[in-house]
Chains A and B, each alone.
Chain A
Amino acid sequence: MIIQFICRAILLGVPLLYGSTGEIVTEKSGHLNLGIPGIMYTGAISGVVGSFIYENACGNDLSRMNPLLAVLIPLLCAIAGATLMGLIYSFLTVTLHANQNVTGLALTTLGIGLGNFLGASLINITKSELPSIALTKTSSFFSAKLPFADNLGWFGELFLSHDFLTYLAIIIALVVSFVLNRTRVGLNLRSVGENPATADAAGINVIKYRYLATCIGSAIAGLGGLQYVMAYATGVWSNNAFGDRGWMAIALVIFALWKPSMAIVGSFLFGALCNANNYIQGLGTETQELFKMLPYVVTIVVLIITSMRKKREHQPPANLGLNYFREER
């Protein structure tokens, strides 16, 4: 029961982990990308379109599908779709100096519209009676588990029974954490977010760093959308099912105090909070609805506490949300 609860929490938390790791990379460069919900949504639908095409090309025959291609095609599609959205965002905010909040929100509108449009179009193509597309074959490749995990009892279930995107999420978070704190590239990136004018004077290409950070961050976030569809929803896409995970990923960035390693813990905690209502005995449906607000309340509490304590290492990048224009001042 407890093991099952934890596994479920991890499964629910992974999209948030991808989203917040991506957003941390972007925010470290000084850009507050509120387009993350749209970008994750786009990543998800791109992956769905990719695997839909591949499944149809194989004649919907599981035995004719190549496991490697079945995984790689959606993966690359998701990354490509999300990166494209990141490029739009960085072109508007870095090159055209557009307001970051407005651009991000518009991008979210665009991304969710795009996802719903493509999703509904695919449902139309399949002429399915349910308002969803089932890509269970592709999903079976994504959620393939280690063969010996079942033999190891609770240990196996807790640590080895997850889909590979879960492990990838943790690896990416750890790598990002290492790069940010231990390498020159990370130091440069952080300096761009703290004070771009100084970074520029020191010979760091601010524009290049901001573009790359936004695009790489978007690509990582896009994978979160893919993990949601392929692992959590077992390959079933229905419009708007992704919900508010994108916003929660952004909230998680603050919860994690801009540290990807903290985001790992935070995302699983969020997953647990999202899921707690299903595991507490004797709750009516109406009280469950109230329980679903737990993650948001916790985020607000963290938000307030971090702003009250004002510790220097817990603050956002100093230039977060501000565009850099070399000739200003």
Chain B
Amino acid sequence: MVNKKAIKKHREPPFHVVKRDDMPWWGAWGIRVATIIAAFLLVGLLSMALSGRSLFETYGIMFSGVFGRIFEGRTMMLWKYLQEIAILLALALALTPAFKMKFWNCGAEGQALMGGLASIICMIELGPKLPYPVLIIVIAVTSIVAGAIWGVIPAIFKAVFNTNETLFTLMMNYIATQIIAYYVYIKGGGSNVINPVEYGNFPAVGSNDYFVNIILVAVITIVMFVYLKYSKQGYEISVVGESQNTARYIGINVKKVIVRTMVISGALCGVTGMLLVAGKDHSINVNSVGGQGFTAILMSWLGQFNPFIMAVMTALVVFLRIGVAKVADTALLNSSFSEIMVGVVILMLVGCEFFINYSFKFKHNKKEAKV
């Protein structure tokens, strides 16, 4: 009786999971694209169920919500869409070198806020005094430095004492938030709002206010791709990320790489803060970055450290965010619905990696018996 139970307990499962690294690139991308299509279908069906519209109508509203009346020659919404992509992508790009090094920089929010704070201080205090080109240069330099400082503090402690960077950077976010709250309170005269500042704004190209932002981020995307793939520093980052011991063995100064990479990461976050303040809002508040620092972490990871894939993923997620919000809006649902959908889609994409990295092996008992 006891034996029987034991045998039953140790029955072999019908299949087991093995790791694979032989998935061809088209197979991996096939799975990812299929997941994205499935996710979009799911989003459409859920929106359909909640809004009571047909599936085609739902997608139609999504598209018109994002691209607007582009066929009538009005491109305003398209530019806004590109602008939203630009900000999220800039943050994701900023985080990428750190992630490639396996440094979990969860502080993009705070680093961008500090960059933005530097910009707004320059715009308010120096705006009336300096000529425009000088002012822009001062804004750029101070916001880069501010972001870099905010990013490098956790990096130094990580390099010297191996302090947990995930929580350190997280806490730095909230300190930055409180500093912004303090500054906004002082400058806003207790109203929690700073009126848009007219000095030091990025120039509008044609009728488009966001052109400079979009071009800048496009340039950063290309530079980041080259930096990570073809530069010596990019190589060092990937070696440190793979194994710190290997890095030490081949003579890479790990501490130096950690600090340097976080300077770059923080500086780029600072640039994003500048894009937000000088290029978009011309003002600042505690919600200026609005949680995008966290979404950017997911974007960077979904992009597999490749800036161009990251751009595509960001475009998808921002499309969902705006489009589903529009669907929810027209159906008298509230716009938080789009947050849920973004969460679901990202979780699906995270889950689908399993089928790329692992495969199932089914048992063939008869064959084994013959051997």
How far is the CB of B349 from the nearest CB of chain A, in Å? 9
Q: Which of A108, A121, A251, A327 contacts B167 (CB 8 A)?
A: A251
A113-B343 CB under 8 A given contacts A98-B354, A254-B164, A304-B161: yes
Q: Binary interface profile of B, 329-361, with partner A (CB < 8 Å = 1, else 0)?
A: 000111011111111101100110110011000
* A232 CB within 8 Å of chain B: no
Residues of chain B lying within 8 A (CB to CB) of residue A108: 294
A110-B343 CB under 8 A given contacts A92-B350, A117-B336, A251-B167: yes
Q: Which of A97, A119, A124, A303 contacts B168 (CB 8 A)?
A: A303
Residues of chain B lying within 8 A (CB to CB) of residue A303: 163-164, 167-168, 171
What residue of chain A has the Cβ atom nearest to residue B175's Cβ?
A293
A307-B298 CB under 8 A given contacts A103-B347, A117-B339: no
Q: Is the CB of A109 within 8 A of B354?
A: no
Q: Which of A103, A112, A121 contacts B333 (CB 8 A)?
A: A121
* A8 CB within 8 Å of chain B: no
Q: Which of B17, B171, B294, B333 contacts A105 (CB 8 A)?
A: B294
Q: Is the CB of B104 within 8 A of A101?
A: yes
* B186 CB within 8 Å of chain A: yes
* A132 CB within 8 Å of chain B: no
Residues of chain A lying within 8 A (CB to CB) of residue B294: 105, 108-109
Residues of chain A lying within 8 A (CB to CB) of residue B295: 109
8 smallest beta-carbon distances between A and B, as pairs: A113-B339, A110-B343, A116-B336, A120-B334, A96-B354, A113-B340, A307-B163, A293-B178
Q: How far is the CA of A112 from the CA of B335 in the complex (A)?
A: 12
How far is the CB of B294 from the nearest CB of chain A, in Å? 6
Residues of chain B lying within 8 A (CB to CB) of residue A239: 336
Q: How far is the CA of A299 from the CA of B106 in the complex (A)?
A: 16
Known: A92-B347, A106-B347, A120-B334. 11 other contacts (CB 8 A): A96-B353, A97-B354, A101-B297, A102-B301, A108-B294, A251-B170, A290-B182, A300-B171, A303-B164, A307-B164, A327-B16
Q: Is the CB of A289 within 8 A of B182?
A: yes
Q: How far is the CA of A285 from the CA of B186 in the complex (A)?
A: 9
Q: Is the CB of B163 within 8 A of A296?
A: no
Residues of chain B lying within 8 A (CB to CB) of residue A60: none
How far is the CB of A323 from the nearest CB of chain B, in Å? 11
* B157 CB within 8 Å of chain A: yes
Residues of chain B lying within 8 A (CB to CB) of residue A325: 19
A285-B167 CB under 8 A given contacts A101-B104, A110-B344, A116-B339: no
Residues of chain B lying within 8 A (CB to CB) of residue A293: 174-175, 178-179
Q: How far is the CA of A303 from the CA of B164 in the complex (A)?
A: 7
Q: Is the CB of B163 within 8 A of A112?
A: no
How far is the CB of B167 from the nearest CB of chain A, in Å? 6
Ordered by A's residue number, 7 sampled pairs between the chains whose C-beta atoms are within 8 Å are: A88-B347, A107-B343, A107-B347, A110-B344, A124-B332, A254-B164, A300-B171
How far is the CB of A256 from the nearest CB of chain B, in Å? 13
Q: Binary interface profile of A, 234-254, with partner B (CB < 8 Å = 1, else 0)?
A: 000001000010010011001
* B207 CB within 8 Å of chain A: no
A289-B181 CB under 8 A given contacts A117-B340, A296-B174: yes
Q: How far is the CA of A247 from the CA of B339 in the complex (A)?
A: 19
* A66 CB within 8 Å of chain B: no
Residues of chain B lying within 8 A (CB to CB) of residue A285: 185, 190
Q: Is the CB of A106 within 8 A of B174?
A: no
Q: Is the CB of B343 within 8 A of A99?
A: no
Q: Which of A98, A107, A117, A327 contacts B337 (CB 8 A)?
A: A117
Q: Is the CB of B168 within 8 A of A113?
A: no
Q: Is the CB of B297 within 8 A of A102?
A: yes
Residues of chain A lying within 8 A (CB to CB) of residue B161: 304, 307-308
Q: How far is the CA of A159 from the CA of B179 in the complex (A)?
A: 36
* A297 CB within 8 Å of chain B: yes
Q: Is the CB of A286 within 8 A of B163?
A: no
* B365 CB within 8 Å of chain A: no
A110-B166 CB under 8 A given contacts A105-B297, A116-B336: no
Q: Binary interface profile of A, 252-295, with partner B (CB < 8 Å = 1, else 0)?
A: 00100000000000000000000000000000011101101100
Q: Binary interface profile of A, 12-45, with partner B (CB < 8 Å = 1, else 0)?
A: 0000000000000000000010100000000000
Q: How far is the CA of A130 from the CA of B336 in the complex (A)?
A: 18
How far is the CB of A157 from the nearest CB of chain B, in Å? 31
Q: Among B16, B182, B301, find the residue whose CB has the most chain A CB atoms closer than 10 A.
A: B182
* A114 CB within 8 Å of chain B: yes
* B3 CB within 8 Å of chain A: no
* B371 CB within 8 Å of chain A: no
Q: Is the CB of A244 within 8 A of B336?
A: no
Residues of chain A lying within 8 A (CB to CB) of residue B341: 113
Q: Among A111, A124, A292, find the residue whose CB has the most chain B CB atoms closer than 10 A.
A: A292
* A328 CB within 8 Å of chain B: yes
Q: Is the CB of A106 within 8 A of B298?
A: yes
* B18 CB within 8 Å of chain A: yes
Segment 8-31 of B: residues with Cβ below 8 Å from A: 16-19
How far is the CB of A250 from the nearest CB of chain B, in Å? 7
Q: How far is the CA of A307 from the CA of B158 in the complex (A)?
A: 9
Q: Among B181, B333, B351, find the residue whose CB has the most chain A CB atoms closer than 10 A.
A: B351
A289-B178 CB under 8 A given contacts A116-B339, A117-B337, A251-B167: yes
Q: Which of B18, B333, B338, B346 contacts A106 (CB 8 A)?
A: B346
Q: How far is the CA of A304 from the CA of B168 in the complex (A)?
A: 9
What residue of chain B has the Cβ atom nearest to residue A328's Cβ?
B19
